[in-house]
Amino acid sequence: MFLIQNTLVSLDVLEKEFCCDLNRCHGCCCIEGDAGAPVSNEELQCINALLPSLLPKMTPEAREVLEKQGLSYKDPSGEQVLSIVNGKDCIFARTNHEGCCYCLIQDHKPISCYLYPIRLTKVGDLIGVEYHRWDICHCARQLGKKMHLPLYKFLREPLIRRFGEDWYNELELTATEWQKQCKQK
């Protein structure tokens, strides 16, 4: 783990290679989970404001879950997450005619969606920045390895959006120094 400002960054974030391959996975991370995407109260307010325009686009099953449960619920760890359909599909996930998943709230989806496969956790007063390894992302690991693309570089924009440019620059410097140390061994 590396301390960067108010975060503890897992070594996996610097070392693992990753690049989403939607041509192969078709966005299955949105429809194969066992819990919804983590969501903040501010994000919920934004999504709630969009609901009138979203309802006609949602599946009947998603609308039913929304009516019974609402936009979100607390998962077993106590984290606020978006509601899911049939214990796995995000209520805002839809599938196009080619079988590829797309998001009804693409421009307003939670930062946790943009950051995936990075998950944020509370570590005392700090935020843990950790890589979440999921078997369905096998093709993303293969493509990342082929491209020699570290996870933190693949997620550059969402990481900057969440933590800021200065934080990301510090992360990048840490990764460079770490790589130098590893080569010296």
pLDDT, tens digit (0-9, with 9 covering 90-100), for 45-78? 999 999 999 999 999 999 999 999 999 999 988 8
Structure tokens, 45: 């307010």
Percent of the chain with pLDDT over 70: 99
pLDDT at 23 over 90: no
Query: What number is the average pLDDT over the span 107-120?
Result: 94
Residue ranges with strand state E in 5-60 = 7-9
Q: Domains in the chain: how many in total?
A: 2
Contacts of 73 (CB under 8 A, 6+ apart): 36, 80, 81, 83
pLDDT at 124 over 80: yes
95 in the same domain as 125? no
128 in the same domain as 57? no
137 in the same domain as 150? yes
DSSP 8-state code for residue 95: E
pLDDT at 185 over 70: no
The Cα-based distances of 54 to 29, 33, 101, 114, 132 in angstroms read 21, 22, 16, 20, 29
Query: What number is the average pLDDT over the span 73-102?
Result: 91
In a domain, 182, yes or no: yes
Domain boundary among 57, 83, 115: 115
Per-residue pLDDT, 22: 86
Structure tokens, 179: 């790589």
pTM of the model: 0.90
pLDDT at 33 over 80: no
100 in the same domain as 77? yes
